[in-house]
Amino acid sequence: MENVGDSTSPPPTERVEESDPSPSQEHKSLKFSLLGPSLLKAGQDAVDQRKVSEIIYNASKGSKFFNHEEARDKILTEKIEQILAHKARLEKLNLSADLRRTDEYIAELELSRDLSQTVVHVDCDAFFAAVEELDRPELKHLPFAVGKGVLTTCNYVARKFGCRSGMAGFVAKKLCPDLICIPQNYEKYSAKAEEIRAIFAQYDPCFESASIDEAYLNITAYCDENNMDPQEAVQQMRARIAEETKITVSAGIATNTKLAKIASNQNKPNGQYFIPSEREAIMSFVKDLPVRKVNGIGRVFERELRAVGIETCGQIYPQRALLKRLFGGKAFQFLMQCYLGLGRTKIQPAEDYERKSVGTESTFAEISDPDAIRVKLRWAADELAKDLARTQFKGRTLVLKVKLHTFEVYTRQVAPPKAVWLADDLYTYSLPILAKLQKEIPNMRLRLLGLRCTHLVSTKKVGLDFFGFQSIPKPSLNTAITGESTEDVDAGPSNESGDQLHRSDAQSATEQEFEDAARQEREDDMEVLEQLSQGYPDNSITSLPYVPPTNDTATKSELPPERAPAQHWTCPICSRPQVADDKKFNEHVDYCLSKETIKEAVQISSSSPSMAVESEYSSKTPSNFANAWSKEQYSRKRKTTSETDPRQKRLFFS
């Protein structure tokens, strides 16, 4: 591995100890938890985290924030005790079959390893703070942070005191009494981000924005076309960004997104780190890598893994036979990918990913009046209807989400008899499940309410062939990972490249799930901090029991859904969902294929003889292309453009 930059990065083996300096070891796990979600942020290598945890503990003790964290820590501790008890029972069993299946899965994953791509993760250095310094250069050598109640960014001077993003402002002031806190200005940050993205687009027009200050690029084609070494190309790109935008960035260069993101943090600030595209080098890098440094493993999962003896990626392998039974199938798959250093290589704009849901939610001051809650529900229905119209979807399943004053989240879902998209229908079908939830939780006090549609059906108008049939799309990635049958989808012979694509897509989906969950955990932490950092005690959080996962389903904290969504079949003529009943479905298709419909189609066809041929080509060609897909085709000679793709505007403020 090679690194370039102005600072020396810590080796992957470095990790922060959670040991408590007090002899009593009181609240040991709580003190570690209080260090917050950004413990591994760059710029804190020389910080005594034990001292920081003690200051945070004493500064926040007695606050509502402290009591909330204490209750969460107690719940997690109880869950870990149950996990360890379950592990002890498993270790008494004969797990040879589990071990054999695990080794077979590892061998299968190895077949999917792709070393042909060069993926770069670029991360701006203390972005919000760096933008503020452009307007106020006097802040450059002073400890300052962006944000008031909760810090969103700290400059590197403040980080030397232990301050970091995601920390309560009053706690940061205890660590650094001279800390200057300034308000956020997202409009200014977004404008600067656009300048940086314009440069990204010249190296990869299809770059993927991961947040307002970071992005993934695949520079394989750029390096080939310009006969450049990847490290040289990234060095050039970073120099251009610094010169043209006055913002420094750090970068990680590897064969996939998972490794590239880890590498980008190895030599911050204003540096880059390269992991060679060789299996031996990758395995050596991940062997001693703390699991917490992997994107997708948050504070909770990290502590659960540590409890069973897994602190580094190399320690995953000895425990491999137990992981599926302890944490579920998805977690098992994700951890095996971490152990092997595997990750997705496909980079594409965020908007190109298949949409799974459309939703809206709102946070507000605590309310308990039933009429006021219904007003919020009506607002959510109206907003969701607008979003569904804009995105051209309707939903077969409607999900209600509420967050109580205790910060507990509950979800309920219902499957209406028809796909819904109108505000009145959204409100009508969600009102009963809200009423049922109010009965289950007397005197319900809410601070968030949202509605979401899933199992989406597109309302976009599509081209029809002679009989009005649409081309049948490929099964979604969701189907591949949930284990639903796909035997009838493609009756043609299997091919190696198609199988490899299937494995790669399933791995990417699992990786994305964990990354999204980790991001949601960080966002929830920030939200709780914002509300609780100056609050009063509240001990109303209750414990949930640990339930060992079964089959491929991981344990979840939310309550079970209202009922499983009803099955529907989509009519190939009118594209409308129909009840999954053979007789009724056939009657409906017969109705659609009436003489008038065929007559109209024939008239259209006669006026445009090429329509039937074109439609037949469009309905058959995509599946043939999909089956012929290969890594050589995916290495893609991307069209170079100086303009930023307008879709590259996905922003996260976390």
- What are the residue numbers of the active site? 214
- What are the distances in angstroms from CA 10 to CA 13, 204, 380? 8, 30, 47
**Selection from 630, 268, 561, 604 nearest residue 468 by Cα:** 604
Neighbours of 224 (CB within 10 A): 12
CA dist., res. 168 & res. 151, Å (int): 6
Q: Write the DSSP string, 180-209.
A: EEE---HHHHHHHHHHHHHHHHHH-TT-EE
Determine how β-strand 271-274 pairs with β-strand 249-254: parallel
Contact between 633 and 192 under an 8 Å Cβ cutoff? The reply is no
Question: In the chain, how many H helices and how many E strands?
Answer: 23, 15
CB atoms within 10 A of CB 462: 9
β-strand pairing of 214-218 with 357-367: unpaired
Query: What's the chain's Rg over C-alpha atoms?
Result: 27
Distance, in Å, from the CA atom of 639 to the CA atom of 201, rounded to the nearest integer, reads: 10
Q: How far is CA 316 from CA 30, 258, 479, 508, in A?
A: 25, 17, 28, 20
Distance CA 499, CA 105 (A): 14
DSSP calls for 404-439: ETT--EEEEEE--SS-B-SHHHHHHHHHHHHHHHHH
Place of tokens 């569904």: 388
- Residue 489 CB: number of other CB atoms within 10 A? 12
